[in-house]
Amino acid sequence: MTGTPTHCPYCALQCGMTLTDAGPGAPLAVVPRDDVPANRGGLCQKGWTSAEALTVPDRLTAPLAREAKGAPLRPCTWDEALDRIAEAALRLRGAHGPDAVAVFGGGGLTNEKAYQLGKFARVALRTSQIDYNGRFCMSSAAAAGNRAFGMDRGLPGPVTDLARADAVMLVGGNPAETMPPFMRHLADVRERGGALVVVDPRRTATARQADLHLRPVPGTDLALANGLLHIALAEGLVDEPYVAARTSGFEAVRTVANAYWPERVERITGVPVPHLREAVRLLARGERSYVLTARGAEQHARGTDMVGAFINLALALGLPGRPGSGYGCLTGQGNGQGGREHGQKADQLPGYRSISDPRAREHVARVWGVDPGSLPGPGRSAYELLTALGTDGGPKALLLFGSNPVVSAPRAAAVEERLAALDLLVVADFVPSETALLADVVLPTAQWAEESGTMTNLEGRVLRRRRAVAPPDGVRTDLAVLADLAGRLGAPGKWSDDPAEVFEELRAASAGGLADYAGITYERIEAEGGVFWPCPSEDHPGTPRPFLDGFATPDGRARFVPAEHGGPAEDVDGGYPVYLTTGRVLAQYQSGAQTRRVRALAEAEPGPFVELHPDLAERLGIADGADVRVTSRRGAATARARVTDAVRDDTAFMPFHWPGEGRANSLTNPALDPVSRMPEFKVCAVRLEPAAAEGEPVPEGDGTEERSGTAR
């Protein structure tokens, strides 16, 4: 028996674990590591059962292809599959130009795969049409962080710094279910006498552990943040010397905040004035406090401004750039941080460089051995890309790695239609996901324990993922697939399937960028237990706390950005009188393609449900456990009712892990943030009613779209 130290395949906490191979036919054993600060020997249910996903009964072990549209998927050889992809890409590019072929990636891909995917799109395909599902997860916080600090780094320091805090405000996050070992650090805060403030419309498992729970109306977080800043100003809690020395733009924000007096904010948000005052006082009373945001503050049509308003609050209190204090974002997907740093985002090149910057283009082109003029410009963002597929002027083919948009994209039925309209859909996955079942070619690829690489967790710490077991016969790595396709397409430069070689190229491509990995080596990661970026040279210690000496802005000052509350893109009305918000549950992860196949997790949370308040359930005649139909302007979904006072009486909640009738993203609003292009997953208007009797048709919405697809 041999043990391989590695990290969990799920969330961005990247908990340490050891995988033990007991021999042929025996499953890998999972043992938590206590030498990884993020989890300190703990794992959640998903982590404990993670190895079981490698051997699920429907694991793909041979490529699949259709002979024609509508024909069934049949096994084929790798040469047949790759030849077909390359021939179609060349044919479509010749007929319609390079943007006829698009690429869609994922926030769970290793740094090496994210990097090579971005290079493949721009060099082998020469397409600008590449984005990834991280656009749906962290893009608003990234945009707000870049705007305020000049840099997007999830947490402002190691996660263990939180334990010494006097107060932590967590906005729109539920780590008790999404990353349970993280709660150990918040528990340390409370054990030391500190306070936890949670902002969430639901009384989640995390909110139940809070000292103070603020329950705003969905979509009103910006008004809440401005109101908290108003109180800080009125009560003399603003750190005026810090604001003067380390920030710019405060006067414009002060003017905006003056209009958000507590009673007005209570009317907008539903949060009582005493709770507003207590929240600010808890944050301001100690020397060390944090404001942390997550998806609940980001997934809005004005998510960048919402997150920015909480950054304004943190800056006014003097938190960012001070030891033991700051603002941070709880990154969601396993490599959500690294996945957006190295080129699979529509507007970025490796090192978190702008693809529109001539110097960035020249540097990266030199590493790739191509002419900078041959690199395309920025392409469409994720939702815009998905809805352009198969349209006039849109891509005719899509290569998709590490994502399942049939379940995870907003207004998912429309996205499903666009995928079906493509000339060629290629999906690389390890199981027949809902998106893979629509594909023309399916490529079976290796999984986390079957390949090596690096991941960057929510702290900005670059970690090693190590191969513990060989993939099944017939399965290839994503790097091998991309290298083989690049050769078939006649792409210039070097294309390796060795993660170590790809990482060496990534180091060179990122050198000098904001996310500088030049000084990070596999050997250093091994020796130091991870290295924090930026790390520009091998003798550089890495940067666990990047803002202590100044911010990454031209003048070194953090920037306040004023923003006014405007409400959700789609508000409730007589026809759709209830707010719907979506999220995750403990036993499932993202689109559920992995976790729904693990028996223990499927038994723990077997299917979709709708949470609604007892008063709302009584008014609508819906009993606990009964099927309820939820309808929005985009479609309908049916799931079991869970009647609970954990949710507001004007709000329903659905998790988004399931396909079919219970698909929550059949309902969600794709209204896009104008800066981050993040869709408004967290709030839309719906109506609820007892489900139709068997044989009775379920309406697909009333056909109106009132602002549902437009940016605000």
Give the dihedral of Cα atoms 420, 424, 429, 431; nearest 10 deg.
Answer: 50
Phi-psi region of 89 (alpha: psi -120 to 50; beta: other; left: phi over 0): alpha
Q: Which of 9-13, 538-542, 699-703 has the lowest mean pLDDT?
A: 699-703
pLDDT band at residue 22, thresholds of 50, 70 and 90? confident
Give the chain's domain count.
Answer: 4
Edge-to-edge, what's the strand order for the sheet holding 531-532? 453-456, 461-465, 531-532
Phi-psi region of 63 (alpha: psi -120 to 50; beta: other; left: phi over 0): beta
- The yes-or-no verdict on residue 426 having pLDDT over 50 is yes
Query: How far apart are the C-alpha atoms of 485 and 664, rounded to whole Å?
Result: 36
7 and 97 in a single domain? The answer is no
How are beta strands 635-643 and 609-612 bridged, if at all? Answer: parallel
- The yes-or-no verdict on residue 708 having pLDDT over 70 is no
Whose structure tokens read 């994210």?
114
458 lies in some domain: no
State mean pLDDT over 175-200. 96
551 lies in some domain: no
Question: Which residues lie across from 196 on neighbouring strands?
Answer: 168
Per-residue pLDDT of 223-277, as tens digits, reads 999 999 999 999 999 999 999 999 999 999 999 999 999 999 999 999 999 999 9
Given a contact cutoff of 8 angstroms between Cβ atoms, the answer to whether 209 and 183 are in contact is yes
Query: How far apart are the C-alpha atoms of 687 and 573, rounded to whole Å?
Result: 10
pLDDT for 195 equals 97
**What is the end-to-end Cα distance of the chain in Å, rounded?**
57
Torsion over CA: 133, 597, 607, 697 (sign): positive
Cis bond upstream, residue 534 (ω within 30): yes
Which element (helix H / strand E) includes 145? helix 139-149
Closest CA to 678 of 388, 410, 401: 410
State mean pLDDT over 346-350. 96
Q: 621: which 2 tokens?
A: 């005649």
503 lies in some domain: no
Given a contact cutoff of 8 angstroms between Cβ atoms, the answer to whether 266 and 273 are in contact is yes
Q: Which domain holds residue 29?
A: 2-55
707 lies in some domain: no
122 and 165 in a single domain? The answer is no
- The yes-or-no verdict on residue 636 having pLDDT over 60 is yes
- The yes-or-no verdict on residue 702 having pLDDT over 50 is no
Query: At 31, which amino acid appears?
Result: V
φ, ψ for residue 231, nearest 5 deg = -65, -40
Q: C-alpha 226: how far from its chain's center?
A: 25
Give, in order, the Cα–Cα distances in Å from 229 to each of 214, 238, 256, 356, 577. Answer: 15, 8, 10, 36, 31
547 lies in some domain: no
Question: Domain containing 126 — which CATH number?
Answer: 3.40.50.740
Given a contact cutoff of 8 angstroms between Cβ atoms, the answer to whether 316 and 236 are in contact is no
Q: 369: which 2 tokens?
A: 């051995």
pLDDT for 519 equals 98
Per-residue pLDDT of 549-594, as tens digits, reads 999 999 999 999 999 999 999 999 999 999 999 999 999 999 999 9
Helix axes 221-234, 303-316, angle to 10 degrees: 20
pLDDT for 332 equals 83
Question: Domain containing 319 — which CATH number?
Answer: 3.40.228.10
Per-residue pLDDT of 147-161, as tens digits, reads 999 999 999 999 999
Given a contact cutoff of 8 angstroms between Cβ atoms, the answer to whether 420 and 70 are in contact is no
Work out the number of other CB atoms within 10 angstroms of the CB of residue 169. Answer: 26
Q: 677: which 2 tokens?
A: 């292009």
279 and 211 in a single domain? The answer is yes
Query: How far apart are the C-alpha atoms of 328 and 543, rounded to whole Å?
Result: 15
311 lies in some domain: yes
State mean pLDDT over 591-604. 96
Domain end residue (candidates: 287, 310, 329): 329
13 and 46 in a single domain? The answer is yes
% of the chain with per-residue pLDDT over 90? 93
Per-residue pLDDT of 106-141, as tens digits, reads 999 999 999 999 999 999 999 999 999 999 988 999
**Three-state secondary structure string covering 440-487:** CEEEEECCHHHCCEEEECCCCEEEEECCCCCCCCCCECHHHHHHHHHH
How are beta strands 609-612 and 578-583 bridged, if at all? Answer: unpaired
For the chain, the average pLDDT equals 95
183 and 223 in a single domain? The answer is yes
State mean pLDDT over 302-322. 97
Closest CA to 130 of 418, 381, 397: 381
Query: How far apart are the C-alpha atoms of 634 and 129, rounded to whole Å?
Result: 26
- The yes-or-no verdict on residue 700 having pLDDT over 50 is no
Q: Is 75 helix (H, G, I), strand (E, B) or coil?
A: strand
Query: How far apart are the C-alpha atoms of 520 and 532, rounded to whole Å?
Result: 9
Given a contact cutoff of 8 angstroms between Cβ atoms, the answer to whether 15 and 43 are in contact is yes
290 and 150 in a single domain? The answer is yes
pLDDT for 668 equals 98
Query: How far apart are the C-alpha atoms of 114 and 106, rounded to whole Å?
Result: 8
How are beta strands 247-248 and 348-349 bridged, if at all? Answer: unpaired
Q: 68: which 2 tokens?
A: 């024609």
189 lies in some domain: yes
How are beta strands 397-401 and 16-21 bridged, if at all? Answer: unpaired
CA angle 667, 670, 673 (to 5 degrees): 145
454 lies in some domain: no
State mean pLDDT over 22-44. 88
Given a contact cutoff of 8 angstroms between Cβ atoms, the answer to whether 634 and 668 are in contact is yes
365 and 314 in a single domain? The answer is no
pLDDT for 703 equals 37
Give, in order, the Cα–Cα distances in Å from 118 to each of 143, 344, 409, 690. Answer: 20, 5, 21, 47
Question: Domain containing 637 — which CATH number?
Answer: 2.40.40.20
Domain end residue (candidates: 31, 55, 79): 55
State mean pLDDT over 85-98. 98
- The yes-or-no verdict on residue 695 having pLDDT over 90 is no
288 and 144 in a single domain? The answer is yes
Q: Is 150 helix (H, G, I), strand (E, B) or coil?
A: coil
263 and 114 in a single domain? The answer is no
pLDDT for 206 equals 97
Question: Domain containing 12 — which CATH number?
Answer: 2.20.25.90
pLDDT for 701 equals 43
Query: How far apart are the C-alpha atoms of 418 and 430, rounded to whole Å?
Result: 23
Query: How far apart are the C-alpha atoms of 123 and 111, rounded to whole Å?
Result: 18
CA angle 49, 50, 51 (to 5 degrees): 95
177 and 312 in a single domain? The answer is yes
Q: 574: which 2 tokens?
A: 């007589």
Given a contact cutoff of 8 angstroms between Cβ atoms, the answer to whether 109 and 455 are in contact is no
Work out the number of other CB atoms within 10 angstroms of the CB of residue 274. Answer: 10
Give, in order, the Cα–Cα distances in Å from 108 to each of 132, 185, 584. Answer: 10, 24, 17
Q: What residues contact residue 156 under an 8 Å CB cut-off, 6+ apart? A: 290, 320, 321, 325, 326, 327, 328, 545, 546, 547
Question: Which residues lie across from 418 on neighbouring strands?
Answer: none
101 and 194 in a single domain? The answer is no
Residue with the bigger pLDDT between 703 and 529: it is: 529
73 and 222 in a single domain? The answer is no
Question: Which residues lie across from 640 on neighbouring strands?
Answer: 609, 627
